[in-house]
Amino acid sequence: YDLVGLDNLVANTAYLRAQQVDYDELRKRRVSLTLPKPKNSSGLLLDRKYESVCEQQPIGRKLFQEFLLASNPQYVAAAEFPEELSHWRFAEDEAREKAKRSILAKFCQPESKSFLSYLTGEAAEICKNLSNKNFDEEALEQIKEATRDFLRGKPFLEFMKSPFFYRFLQWKEYEKQKITNKYFYEFRTLGKGGFGEVCAVQVKYTGQMYACKKLDKSRLKKKGGERFALLEKQILEKVNSLFIVNLAYSYNDKTHLCLVMDLMNGGDLKFHIYELGERGIRMERLIYYTAQITTGILHLHSMDVVYRDMKPENVLLDAKGQCRLSDLGLAVELPKGRTICQKAGTTGYMAPEILKQENYRISVDWWALGCSIYEMVAARLPFKDFREKVHNEEVTRRTLEDECKFEHKNFDDPTKDLISRFLRKKQLHRLGSRGEDPRSHRFFQSINFHRLEAGLVEPPWVPKSNVVYARNTDEFRDNSEVENIKFDAKDEKFFNEFSTGAVSVRWQKEMIDSGVFDELNDPKLNDKHNGTFVS
Ligand code: ADP
Ligand code: MG
Ligand code: MG
């Protein structure tokens, strides 16, 4: 018997089976779960801004909606209008016409009970003048803004005094629970990084699957990687994008710091270029992935973050076939209006300005994207052939001096043009470097970015649910010894700073998606707190 192969098979079976979540079974397991009472202090520490409570945090948003729907017709209309508007925006053809007729009839006719009667001044005029012919994006946006202004006034103040807000405080209290290894079931290793491995985990009481990146504390200390680990965590928890791996929890145990992130079980793009079927990625998929990657990079840049590690290996696919950027280990926040010159990146993807140790900002990511698109087409890099044994100095020389050649048969005109613009050697001449949006290039002609950003464009390729897109478990076995390193008070302080538990937005989304929110929020289960007001 091949025992190693058997180990791998067992690990894969457990991992694949865990992904078929039995929600009825889970529900039974958590019938006794109740929401804690909020501590007096927790309400005071809470960010009470309208944007944070009612827009950014999914549970706050839901409870605010419930509050509005349970109030007067005016509030109900203010709750329903933005929903129907976004429905219209993303709808196509017949459904779009229907959504439009519904908005006009419901919200713009003074005799309708959902008429937007709270609008005043210009917004009120615009609303009355909307018609089948005159139904433009800008006018609607103005009404939406006016609705927002209305909601953040009296309705928001009333909400904060209602039982719905008390319920929100309960959820916030629950969110603060301490996270340990006991919170998860652990499954097979999916990959290996510089400071430890990444394995699949599942939250016991919600069934939610995640990837857990474990950083070995001793190794971190020995190699001085603490600062970068903390930076990676801090940037990860700030991003909220469909195209970047999101952080759900950070915690630590005796030996490791742990980052719990979206599980990307469709494999990385490097694996897809070189290991599956014919080398390279066909054009339809390539355009789709590039569109998502570009949107993810733009999101980082909008936060003044440079990624610095753009390469197919760091782009991972999820179960649906959408991709996200991962591994923000080299990402840094740029000082306002200033440049940096630190050398960082991977050989073959580094821009001329990095190699020459010149000052740079975001331009290096667009260069690396150009190299990555090239690689997805040709299964080699512009200045380094696949598995070519070549010194870094020679790759540097070619990057600085040689023109990029497009010899592979799969390069078409728009793709060559886009890559050439990303591979301009001078930063200022490079597409994207001066803040222009690369997404208007004709390469992306087939993509509706509006729908893409809402996650509504069907992926051109979907991973098979019975395949594990990772190398066999035995290939990750680690034989290197780590000597026993002692930790002092300063280390402990750093471990605590790192271990902040659940990340609000992601955790709240997990509670809603898994049904836990609806179960615990059922007034019949939890009515002992109803009617309790917090001032
Ligand atoms: P390092 O910073 O040490 O390079 P990475 O973050 O790149 O570590 O993770 C190492 C490997 O683990 C990746 O190449 C990938 O195969 C796997 N991996 C990382 N994050 C995820 C994830 N969210 N889902 C699935 N696999 C992942
Ligand atoms: Mg990596
Ligand atoms: Mg890294």
Q: Does ligand 1 have an atom closer than 6 angstroms to the CB of 330?
A: no
The pLDDT tens digits for 360-382 are: 999 999 999 999 999 999 999 99
Stretch 496-513: mean pLDDT, rounded?
Answer: 96
Q: Does ligand 1 have an atom closer than 6 angstroms to the CB of 194?
A: yes
Q: Given this model, what pLDDT does residue 526 score?
A: 46
Q: Which residue, 408, 528, 474, 535, is CA-closest to 35?
A: 528
Q: Does ligand 1 have an atom closer than 6 angstroms to the CB of 211?
A: yes
Q: Given this model, what pLDDT does residue 203 score?
A: 96
Return mean pLDDT, the chain. 92
Query: pLDDT exceeding 90 applies to what percent of the chain?
Result: 78
Q: Given this model, what pLDDT does residue 52 score?
A: 95
CB neighbour class for 322 (10 Å; exposed up to 12, middle 13-18, buried from 19): buried
Stretch 475-479: mean pLDDT, rounded?
Answer: 74
Cα-trace Rg, the chain: 26
Q: Which two tokens stand for residue 159?
A: 């909400």
Q: How many CA atoms lie within 13 A of 185 on its CB side?
A: 14
Atom of ligand 1 nearest to the CA of 265: 25
In whole angstroms, give the CA distance from residue 453 to residue 160. Answer: 32
Check the CA dihedral 273-275-279-285 and report its sign. negative
In whole angstroms, give the CA distance from residue 37 to residue 173. Answer: 7
The pLDDT tens digits for 128-172 are: 999 988 898 899 999 999 999 999 999 999 999 999 999 999 999
Q: Does ligand 1 have an atom closer than 6 angstroms to the CB of 215?
A: no
Widest CA span in the chain = 80
Report the alpha-carbon angle 374-244-384, nearest 5: 25
The CA 206 to ligand 3 mean position distance, Å, reads 29
Q: Given this model, what pLDDT does residue 306 score?
A: 96
**pLDDT of 293 above 50:** yes
Distance between alpha carbon 347 and the CA centroid of its chain, in Å?
A: 27
Atom of ligand 1 nearest to the CA of 313: 14
In whole angstroms, give the CA distance from residue 502 to residue 509. Answer: 11
Pocket test for ligand 1, best of 326, 346, 476, 506 (most atoms within 8 A of CB): 326
The CA 175 to ligand 2 mean position distance, Å, reads 30
Is residue 199 within a helix (H) or strand (E), and if so which, with residue range?
Answer: strand 196-203
**pLDDT of 527 above 50:** no
One-letter identity of residue 190: L
The CA 193 to ligand 3 mean position distance, Å, reads 7
Confidence band, pLDDT 50/70/90 cuts, at residue 208: very high
Contact 35, 526 (CB under 8 A): yes
**Residue having the nearest C-alpha atom to atom 7 of ligand 1:** 327
pTM summary value: 0.90
Out of 64-78, 303-317, 330-344, 383-397, least confident range = 330-344
Contact 372, 311 (CB under 8 A): yes
Report the alpha-carbon angle 75-81-82, nearest 5: 110
Is 309 catalytic? The answer is: yes
Pick the catalytic residue: 216, 268, 309, 327?
309
Contact 247, 231 (CB under 8 A): no
Q: How many CB atoms lie within 10 A of CB 524?
A: 5
Q: Given this model, what pLDDT does residue 529 score?
A: 45
The pLDDT tens digits for 24-50 are: 888 887 877 888 888 876 666 678 899
Is 223 within any annotated ligand binding site? Answer: no
CB neighbour class for 389 (10 Å; exposed up to 12, middle 13-18, buried from 19): exposed
In whole angstroms, give the CA distance from residue 65 to residue 86. Answer: 15
The answer for residues whose C-beta is within 8 angstroms of residue 83's C-beta and 6 or more apart is none
Q: Does ligand 1 have an atom closer than 6 angstroms to the CB of 5?
A: no
Beta strands in 335-416 (DSSP E): none
Contact 236, 261 (CB under 8 A): yes
Q: Which two tokens stand for residue 126?
A: 């615009």
The CA 268 to ligand 1 mean position distance, Å, reads 9
Q: Does ligand 1 have an atom closer than 6 angstroms to the CB of 269?
A: no
**pLDDT of 483 above 80:** no
